[in-house]
Amino acid sequence: MSERPFDPTGFFPRTTTVLRPNLTTVPAGTELWRVHRSVYAPDQFNDKLSDIHFGGGRFEGTLLDPYHYLYLAATPLTALAESMLRSVPYGGDGTREVLYAVAEGRSLSCLRSRCDLTLVPLQTGADLAAVCQETLLDDERNYAVSRRWSSEIRAQAPEAQGLLWDSRRNRREDVLMLYRDRVEHCEGGPLEVVPEWSIPDLGSPEGLKQVNELLKPLRAEVSTPVGW
């Protein structure tokens, strides 16, 4: 495999392996969804950096590459599934009970892209081969590798504004992450809030009713607090 001269001016890229990321476009006007704590604005990027080796999410920034990031999903159900259904087992009746605390104090927000978004897809075998990976980017036990490779992709694909991959909890649906420093040029910000399609309080009686209706296809339900 050919090698690329190492750039000594920045920490990344650290590998001499030449990545050739595929690119795809999410067009302006696309509706996207996220679940977030209600104290944060729907379009607010996360500035919390993950440890280089331990804990943290799949593609978050680190001290070595301190970018701010925003996770989004193609559908409201996928956004809820990614946020609420991690390690939630099926009960004896074949359904999954989500603790109320997971919904309390959170919102489901709809956002619309204001500009075209150029993303690196990590969905097909060819997509993964383009960044010299197979399964590590999808393995929750190796998220440190995923974070490292996100920075390698950023360094070798300066036009990439984020990543796109398949949801683990709602298969064949898209989830994506944006790099804030790559979308700041978009006039008015990269995303506009669509309040009429959002659920501002998932823990309210009406919010819980809407959430549970959305979760039905995945045989999941948020529990109702005692006394309601």
Which tokens sit at 193? 């809030």
Closest CA to 175 of 164, 186, 185: 164
The rounded distance, in Å, linking the Cα atoms of 197 and 187 is: 23
| Domain extents in the chain | 24-222
Closest CA to 208 of 115, 111, 102: 102
Cis status, amide bond into 13, omega within 30 of 0: yes
- Residuewise pLDDT in 10s, the chain (228 residues): 444 444 444 667 777 889 999 999 999 999 999 999 999 999 999 999 998 888 788 899 998 899 999 999 999 999 999 999 998 999 999 999 999 999 999 999 999 999 999 999 999 999 999 999 887 666 677 788 889 889 999 999 999 999 999 999 999 999 999 999 999 999 999 999 999 999 999 999 999 999 999 999 999 999 998 878
> Considering the entire predicted model, what is its pTM?
0.89
What is the pLDDT, as a whole number, of residue 5?
Answer: 42
